A and B are shown apart, each in its own frame.
Chain A
Amino acid sequence: MATVSFDQATRVYPGTERPAVDKLDLDIADGEFLVLVGPSGCGKSTSLRMLAGLEDVNAGRIMIGDRDVTDVPPKDRDIAMVFQNYALYPHMSVADNMGFALKIAGIGKEERAERVRDAAKLLDLQDYLERKPKALSGGQRQRVAMGRAIVRNPQVFLMDEPLSNLDAKLRVQTRTQIASLTRRLGVTTVYVTHDQVEAMTMGDRVAVLKDGLLQQVDTPRRLYDHPNNVFVAGFIGSPAMNLLELPVVDGGVQFGGTTYDAGQEALQAAAGNTVTLGVRPEDLELVPEGEGLSVEADLVEEQGADAFIFGHTMVNDQSHDMIVRVGGRRPPEKGAIVWVRPQKGHVHVFDSKTGLRLGD
């Protein structure tokens, strides 16, 4: 087990100007489950591959524990790429399927057996060790494959979208298993996904990347409640946060027919006459006609307890998409007009030009 540090780590692909990963500074604690998340091309997989030794590091360095591994070959880094391959061998017992890589690594019989037993216990496979993989269910086979990585006792687990080829149901199930397993093992884990829901449900902390730059690294709660910039605000959360560019006026921002007090400290810090106001769908409340902004419901998605209105509003003669969460008992119908306003204190203010968070 070990800490992992990216220290100004940079990767520039030959023939490109913009770094795929740009001066990444990231410290991952011993035993932490850290998720790298971001849209396609953000540099999350490249970062993971740099840690794995699959990408050259053009500047900066990467540490595992106290060891600078920047120029260490992948197999000597004491890491395990999980789910790289979960082929199981039909003639070998479950125990051999889990332990064969240890044999290749020259580890003695007794130690192999011990490590396999320990892993099997964690994975609830003790009773199957002497069986052939054929006798296992699909889920058990997947656990055997995980066992293969576990028995190696690596310092760090690396996982690059390991669930992407599972169907939705198995994906939810497996992500819970992975998260709880790695925590029980206490092995530092770096996990890459493009799915922010996966990131938020699994990570102790989540690092959000865009265009090769680290945007924010925080606990899921903090990312949700306190996004550092407009990108993180829009990326984290499902359905996404509403982001509207609104004029700053005396006493707040002009929110349709209402002046909304978005916090003087934040508004004073704004560079221009407008700010970008972020409001999560659940932080909008319905108000009487004429107050706040009017939203026309284009689609209403009923989820039982709640309903989501997917609609649009007009700000400065421009149409903006709006998502509003309302109670599930009596949601408006498609085509209805509702009036909304942020609940007191539940907004995020960003500089319209820089996109950075203003105020707390």
Chain B
Amino acid sequence: MSELSGDAQWHEPSDWEQQGKLPRNAGLPPANVVGSLSITAAATDPGLLDLPWHITLEEWPDEYLAALPRGISRHVVRFAHLGGSVIAVKETSEHIARHEYHVLRRLQKVDVPSVEPVAVISGRTTPDGEELNPVLVTRHLKFSLPYRALFSQKLRRDTLTRLIDAQALLLVRLHLIGFYWGDVSLSNTLFRRDAGAFAAYLVDAETGEIYPSLSSGQREYDLEIARVNIAGELMDLLEGGLIEEHVDPLATSERIMDSYRRLWNELTGKETFGAGERWRVTARVERLNELGFDVEEYSINTDSEGSRIQLQPKVVDAGHHPRRLIRLTGLDVQENQARRLLNDLDQYRAEYYPHLDEEISAHSWLTHVFEPIVRAIPRELAGKLEPAEVVHQVLEHRWYMSEKQDRDVPLAETVQSYLDDVLRHRRDEAAILLNPDTKTLNVLQGNDAGDAPDHDPAGEPAASHPAHGTPASSNPDSDEPEQHPGTEPGNSPR
């Protein structure tokens, strides 16, 4: 688990006295002098000072905005450019802004997927001296997608189940470090493509609280909230004709319970077996590795006669495959992408350098496979997908091409075909900006048009539909590459 569990180490001014909550009087700056800003940030970007903090967010001039606002939110939220990135700025009360800032910082420290907090800015006043609400600034997660951006006509059932599985995994990871969310929903989550699956990131921590560990009541209630919210979100999509008709919102939302419980039990459950079955210790660790977790600590107890063994993982840490990939190649990617790339890397070694050190063959793979693919992406297509996702898709594309043509298609040829037939026709996903804080209300305005409700963003640098045509091997309106039944894309030929 993390530094947050066990003996709580509160590095931030959170409050041991009042579990999970930031004390009202902690960490607050001295009373603001009228007209002077107070900025709380880990590392202040000087560009922050250039933003028009003296103007209420609602009236920010267009030139500062990265995207036009959409819809109605509990709070006013705007996206703006800051240096090379896009930030989300949310107007809220000082207490809530600080609470959320500190919670997000703590989540970042323990490496749970969440948006990065940039600053809390208070003491805002208009030139006339009128007080303005403080803001929380977070950095927009590049290549992340709101769930409503994952489909353009209709949300497919299998996409939906992947989303829900990703959400369940995120919830498990949050619960493992003692985070009670209090408002689990697809709307409060962003998704990144992860080699055919999705990786979920927490966006809204307003109701979140961090404890040394969670009670089962807290976990169950979070799950109940997730179930009700997801069902509500799906009923809404159904009402709006945005989901395949045969999707049952209730049954689908139940999936998060099953998916969560299965994972939670595998990660934390006690297992008892006879002394002769010690292989089950290794088997359990391997199963956890396969799920993407490393076991950092486990407890083994035997009964008085020594005939029964009880095993329970104590500290599990997500990121098993990314850690191995980063050690071998320095590439920092998501779980399934890492799994996919490692698979390719291992095959590459088996084929070309079976007797070489793993590190050396990994270096060769990086130079001869990964980097050439990334370098081949023309600049104008760089905003379509994350590089690691492109490499995954190219490897997959190569496998399909090879199978279809019954020959080993060389990498260069595959890359060209992929760029021309697939990537070029995708929309940009580097910065799709639906208001991440809003509940689904935020798409009200977009949906009023009725026909293009979901992922058309509200301005630069947001996405665009493919200009024309449908690519041969992938439907841009689907979020998945075309599936080839009966084939196994994991073993691409060289």
Residues of A within 8 A of B (CB): 13-16, 20, 40-43, 45-46, 49, 52-56, 73-75, 84-92, 96, 100-101, 103-104, 132-134, 164-165, 167, 194
**Residue contact A85 to B17, C-beta cutoff 8 Å:** no
User: Given the known A-B contacts A45-B18, A54-B217, are A74 and B224 also in contact in the complex, defined by CB atoms under 8 Å?
Assistant: yes
User: Given the known A-B contacts A20-B19, A90-B447, are A73 and B217 also in contact in the complex, defined by CB atoms under 8 Å?
Assistant: yes
* A89 partner, pick from B24, B92, B253, B440, beta carbons under 8 A: B440
**Residue contact B93 to A165, C-beta cutoff 8 Å:** yes
**Residue contact B212 to A41, C-beta cutoff 8 Å:** no
Residues of A contacting B182 with CB < 8 Å? 84
Q: Which segment, of B225-233, B347-355, B385-393, faces chain A? A: B225-233
**Residue contact A134 to B72, C-beta cutoff 8 Å:** yes
Residues of A contacting B212 with CB < 8 Å? 13-15
Q: Taking the nearest CB of chain A, how far is it from the CB of B172, in angstroms?
A: 18
Per-residue A-contact encoding for B207-246, CB less than 8 Å = 1, 0 else: 1000111011110110011011101110111011010000
**Residue contact B441 to A87, C-beta cutoff 8 Å:** yes
User: Given the known A-B contacts A92-B239, A104-B228, A194-B24, are A87 and B15 also in contact in the complex, defined by CB atoms under 8 Å?
Assistant: no
**Residue contact A92 to B15, C-beta cutoff 8 Å:** no
Chain B interface: which size bin? 35 or more
**Residue contact B213 to A41, C-beta cutoff 8 Å:** no
Q: Nearest chain-B residue to A90 (Cβ)? A: B444
Q: Is B185 positioned at the interface, with any CB of A under 8 Å from its CB?
A: yes
User: Given the known A-B contacts A16-B16, A54-B217, are A40 and B25 also in contact in the complex, defined by CB atoms under 8 Å?
Assistant: yes
**Residue contact B236 to A89, C-beta cutoff 8 Å:** yes
- Please measure, in the bound complex, the distance between the C-alpha atom of A90 and the C-alpha atom of B183, giving whole angstroms: 18
Per-residue A-contact encoding for B253-273, CB less than 8 Å = 1, 0 else: 100000000000000000000
Q: Nearest chain-B residue to A101 (Cβ)? A: B228
**Residue contact B236 to A91, C-beta cutoff 8 Å:** yes
**Residue contact A91 to B447, C-beta cutoff 8 Å:** yes
- Please measure, in the bound complex, the distance between the C-alpha atom of A101 and the C-alpha atom of B72, giving whole angstroms: 22
Q: Taking the nearest CB of chain A, how far is it from the CB of B5, in angstroms?
A: 10
**Residue contact A41 to B17, C-beta cutoff 8 Å:** yes
Most buried by B among A43, A54, A55, A56: A54
Q: Taking the nearest CB of chain B, how far is it from the CB of A36, in angstroms?
A: 12
**Residue contact B183 to A85, C-beta cutoff 8 Å:** yes
Q: Is B21 positioned at the interface, with any CB of A under 8 Å from its CB?
A: yes
Residues of B contacting A88 with CB < 8 Å? 439-441
A-B pairs, 7 with minimum CB distance? A87-B439, A41-B17, A91-B240, A89-B236, A91-B239, A40-B23, A41-B18
The contact sample of 11 A-B pairs, CB cut-off 8 A, is A41-B18, A49-B218, A54-B221, A73-B217, A75-B221, A85-B439, A88-B440, A88-B441, A89-B440, A91-B237, A103-B235
Q: Is B250 positioned at the interface, with any CB of A under 8 Å from its CB?
A: yes
**Residue contact B218 to A54, C-beta cutoff 8 Å:** yes
Q: Taking the nearest CB of chain A, how far is it from the CB of B457, in angstroms?
A: 17
Q: Is B443 positioned at the interface, with any CB of A under 8 Å from its CB?
A: yes
Q: Taking the nearest CB of chain B, how far is it from the CB of A339, in angstroms?
A: 31
Tell me the residues in window 1-56 of chain B with beta carbons closer than 8 Å to chain A beta carbons.
6-8, 15-19, 21, 23-25
Q: Taking the nearest CB of chain B, how far is it from the CB of A231, in angstroms?
A: 15
Q: Nearest chain-A residue to B16 (Cβ)? A: A16
Q: Is B74 positioned at the interface, with any CB of A under 8 Å from its CB?
A: yes
Q: Is B308 positioned at the interface, with any CB of A under 8 Å from its CB?
A: no
**Residue contact B95 to A164, C-beta cutoff 8 Å:** yes
**Residue contact A134 to B448, C-beta cutoff 8 Å:** yes
- Please measure, in the bound complex, the distance between the C-alpha atom of A234 and the C-alpha atom of B447, giving whole angstroms: 53
Q: Taking the nearest CB of chain B, how far is it from the CB of A112, in angstroms?
A: 13
